[in-house]
Structure 1
Amino acid sequence: MEAKKTPDSPRIALLQQALISNDAAALAPFWQEITEKGTPLIEPIENDDTHHLVTFLWRGKEDIHNVVLFGGTVGWGHPEKNQLTRLLDSDLWYRTYRLRNDLRTTYLLSPNDPLTELNNGAGDYGTRMLSDPLNPRQFIYSKDEELPDDRDIAVSILELPNAPAQPWITPQPDVARGHVEIHRLHSDILNNERRVWIYTPPGYSPIDEPYSLFLVFDGLSYQDAVPTPTILDNLINAGKIPPMVAVLPDSMDQDTRNRELPCHEPFVEFLTRELMPWAHKHYHVTSNPKQTIVGGSSYGGLAAAFVGLRASEVFGNVLSQSGSFWWDRDPELDISQQQLIQHYVASPRLPLRFYLEVGLQEKGVAVEMISSNRHLRDVLILKGYEVHYSEFNGGHDYICWRGSLADGLIALVGKN
């Protein structure tokens, strides 16, 4: 008989040895254990305090011929390289990775995968790629009720023991809550109308000192996937930041987002000539750019840096979570991202402060994600800007951004 490779996972290796010894009954207690504890299977490594072995599992029937892992630390491309292995002729499929203990990420599995590259958009979620049925921990991207074809998307969570705490994302019973209102704002500049959510802090008053202002893109995501109102409630209550008003404009749909957020001059005009004047008219917010933040994630982080460059007299702080600084060019304006960085190089130092962060596992989003964020950081520091920079062990993922948003706010406007 051909010798079988010993699995990296001690638990799977033990199971393999039992099956080779004709102990078919060993599978039942294994699956019972997995059902009770959930997946992935996480095991310590002898003499290694900084890593664990993490084994992704799938229980396959006779009609399963492959299973592919997506997300996590392997990214979203090259499915042929990320296939699970079947244990002998059993119904167990597995793949083991040695991962650093501070990892937080999400992942999906694809049984009977076609081994082709993923489509753009969310069409593969819930059809080709599925959440892990053996993992009870899920992160839900709730559907947008105003988009008729939208739907909830569930992804599976992996958090290792030393993943950074996220103490600000959960409502606390003894913390007063702010108020969220929804408005609709028409733009003559962009020729469209969007929802704008406004958060006002507990005890909001229109007659006291004007409030600090936080404008963050992808407004629906920054209420749901990132619970910004709850984060603000908790930070304000703890005295970490001053009371502030948050303005959360909607991105409407993917096509609009792809057009407006990547360095789009008319979008900056919309913010400075329409949205911000509207906010000042209806809410008691500061006009001091030192107390005003523009922020977002992915394309939203890219947009925040561009808005800061173009409108530092309005926004004095830029908060970028995994900004897409690999971006090539705006098809209308032909402004390359490299030119954007060069504008920062060529222009006098502006009255701006930055919080930049990126995930060490941001694979399959863009090959330049980490290096481009580091590049922008280095350029800004050389120009003399105040830059708070962070790298987290996770992916291009709201499950990470929801925890680190508080870090960015504290870094930029935190109270001493």
Structure 2
Amino acid sequence: MSPARRHPPKTRRPEPAPLTTSPLIAGLEARIADLLQHPDGIRTPQTLADEFRAEHPASPVFEHLPATPEHPDAPDDPDHRIVTFVLHDAAAEQVLLFINRITDETDLDRSLMHRIPGTDLWHLSYLMRRDWIASYSYQIALPGAPVPWQGLDQRGIREVLDHGLPDPRNLRQITNRAGVRMSVVALRHAPSDEWRAPRDDVPEGTLAEHVGPDGRRLWVYEPSALEVAKPGRTHQALADAGAQAMLAGQQLPLLIVLDGDVWAGVQPLPTILDNMIAEGVIPPLLAVFVDSADRERRWDELDEHGGIVDWLADRLRPWVVEHWGAALSWDPHRTVVAGQSLGGLAAIAAVVRRPDVFGGAISQSAALWQPDVALEAAARPPVGARIDLQVGLQEWVLLEPTRALAAQLSEAGVDVTLTEVNGGHDYAWWRRTLATAIEHQFGDDPVHVRR
């Protein structure tokens, strides 16, 4: 096995992002041009831009494809929309629009927004399918100041792009791994975020921080049903079907979540679990969120030659059993590891390398540019495991390797589900489709009583 690389390959998009022209912006520019030719002494280009802002108070602006020579396929292509990002900033000299995996970090000039002369309005438009979802932000260069995204190496560019400004006219936001708020664009047919918000009628499970084996910070989620099923509670308290099953001697499945500091914090997975359990979509389960600590430790542990899999099996699993063993299942098929990117790679490695402990993997955007885990899976297919592979259609480095792995596993008789989402390497969709994968992993649990 070759040593793992510290950075994914930085390659150009196979095709440039689909820039297009907005009829609304073109109409505004035409009105401004007409005004400049026939001034009325009252209106200015800026007042027309202000009118546009009042007419379109939210960003991005969505438009149907017009049936014009510019878009000859429009009548036969109803599933695409023109998505126009609009920023009003009079002080900016340049504005870079960073959209996850739409922006090509090897060709940033294509993501520079255009300013309508004489106004504070910056704009950039894309032609996207109606199921597209992405996080995005702005980088602003001021006159006389260094341009934030120029003169940097790959890591420096990534650091800048991860710390942009959210869209002030878009209330839909998400927090990235760096802890920075970013805006989210989600077209109508993008995956649903239905489980995210707390519900007044749903009992909350408990989430408690622990010092786990080897001093590792962990968070453990216990479903509300586990609380009412503890000894000393009355049968009248057991209205929940899952809690009744546990009192009858049934035991909880276990979900292990990598990058747990994110999922127990800024990404509300405990709330998602509460809602799914309350709706009877999944049975009550125990979830352990594993802190990834700092960047270097995450690389050391989660890459293809890291030691996280054996640590999960030989250190974390016994610790969990020691504390919750009476309520927990020992069945590997009811023990699932979930992760994204490097964590997605580690989730696959868990069922390949330690099938004695792990029988399920949820792998979102796995870092398959590191090839050895896929090679191991080919040599020792984890037959009997259930694997959910998810990847973004805009992830040009990961899409084909993920498809190839899914086909390979399927041919070997592994229970594998491949989900392709029209997005990038992005919590914007990971959060939404993680719930789908959790339902797939646990929804047909043998003790599950669906309402």
Q: 2:333 aligns with which of 290, 295, 304?
A: 290
Q: 1:40 aligns with which of 54, 60, 67?
A: 60
**Structure 1 position 350, deviation (Å):** 3.3
Corresponding residue for 1:166? 193
Corresponding residue for 2:380? 347
Provide, for residues 102-161 of structure 1, a one-character-per-residue CA deviation record: whole Å limited to 9, x for no partner. Answer: 11111112222444556527742586x322233333223487xxxxxxxx4121121222
Provide, for residues 168-204 of structure 1, a one-character-per-residue CA deviation record: whole Å limited to 9, x for no partner. Answer: 11111111111111101242xxxxx321100011120
Aligned equivalents of 2:51, 2:29: Cα separation in 1: 16
Q: 1:314 aligns with which of 346, 351, 357?
A: 357
Does 288-297 or 17-26 show the bigger shift? 17-26
Q: 1:401 aligns with which of 396, 406, 430?
A: 430
Structure 2 counterpart of 1:179, one-letter code: T
Corresponding residue for 1:176? 203
> Could you tell me whether the CA contact under 8 Å between 1:225 and 1:399 is conserved in 2?
no
**Structure 1 position 73, deviation (Å):** 5.2
SS in 1 for 2:216: strand
Structure 2 counterpart of 1:377, one-letter code: A
SS in 2 for 1:221: helix
**Structure 1 position 9, deviation (Å):** 1.1
Corresponding residue for 1:203? 225
Does 37-46 or 371-380 show the bigger shift? 37-46
SS in 1 for 2:423: coil
Aligned equivalents of 1:25, 1:245: Cα separation in 2: 62
1:28 to 2:56 alignment: no
Q: 1:263 aligns with which of 290, 295, 304?
A: 304
**Structure 1 position 359, deviation (Å):** 1.1
Corresponding residue for 1:149? none
**Structure 1 position 224, deviation (Å):** 2.9
Aligned equivalents of 1:39, 1:201: Cα separation in 2: 38
Cα distance 1:29–1:161, how it changes in 2: closer, same or farther (>3 A)? farther
Please give the root-mean-square deviation of Cα atoms over the aligned residues, in Å. Answer: 2.3
Q: 1:111 aligns with which of 109, 122, 140?
A: 140
Q: 2:405 aligns with which of 360, 364, 376?
A: 376
Structure 2 counterpart of 1:92, one-letter code: L
Q: 2:92 aligns with which of 35, 40, 64?
A: 64
Structure 2 counterpart of 1:120, one-letter code: R
| Correspondence list, 1:182-331, <5 A | 182-187=209-214, 193-204=215-226, 205=229, 208-264=249-305, 266-283=307-324, 284-327=327-370
Aligned equivalents of 1:110, 1:274: Cα separation in 2: 43
1:75 to 2:118 alignment: no
Aligned equivalents of 2:153, 2:28: Cα separation in 1: 34
**Structure 1 position 83, deviation (Å):** 1.3
Corresponding residue for 1:136? 171
Provide, for residues 339-375 of structure 1, a one-character-per-residue CA deviation record: whole Å limited to 9, x for no partner. Answer: 322222222553211101011123xxxx521111112
Q: 2:27 aligns with which of 6, 11, 14?
A: 14
> Could you tell me whether the CA contact under 8 Å between 2:347 and 2:361 is conserved in 1?
yes
Aligned equivalents of 1:186, 1:200: Cα separation in 2: 19
Cα distance 1:177–1:314, how it changes in 2: closer, same or farther (>3 A)? same
Cα distance 1:386–1:126, how it changes in 2: closer, same or farther (>3 A)? closer
Corresponding residue for 2:13? none
Cα distance 1:69–1:118, how it changes in 2: closer, same or farther (>3 A)? farther
Aligned equivalents of 1:135, 1:235: Cα separation in 2: 28
> Could you tell me whether the CA contact under 8 Å between 2:213 and 2:316 is conserved in 1?
no
Corresponding residue for 1:54? 83
SS in 2 for 1:74: coil
> Could you tell me whether the CA contact under 8 Å between 2:191 and 2:429 is conserved in 1?
no
Identify the structure with the greater strand proportion: 1
Corresponding residue for 1:4? none
SS in 2 for 1:341: helix
SS in 2 for 1:239: coil
Provide, for residues 290-346 of structure 1, a one-character-per-residue CA deviation record: whole Å limited to 9, x for no partner. Answer: 11101111111000111111111111011111111112xxxxxxxxx2x32222222
SS in 2 for 1:13: helix
SS in 2 for 1:214: strand
Cα distance 1:276–1:294, how it changes in 2: closer, same or farther (>3 A)? same
Cα distance 1:120–1:142, how it changes in 2: closer, same or farther (>3 A)? closer
Corresponding residue for 2:160? 124
Structure 1 counterpart of 2:181, one-letter code: A
- Any unmatched runs of 5+ in structure 1? 1-6, 144-151, 188-192, 328-336
Corresponding residue for 2:393? 360
TM-score, normalized by length of structure 1?
0.85
Aligned equivalents of 2:176, 2:401: Cα separation in 1: 27
Larger radius of gyration: 2
SS in 1 for 2:383: coil
Structure 2 counterpart of 1:198, one-letter code: V
**Structure 1 position 81, deviation (Å):** 2.0
- Any unmatched runs of 5+ in structure 2? 1-19, 67-74, 142-146, 231-246, 445-449
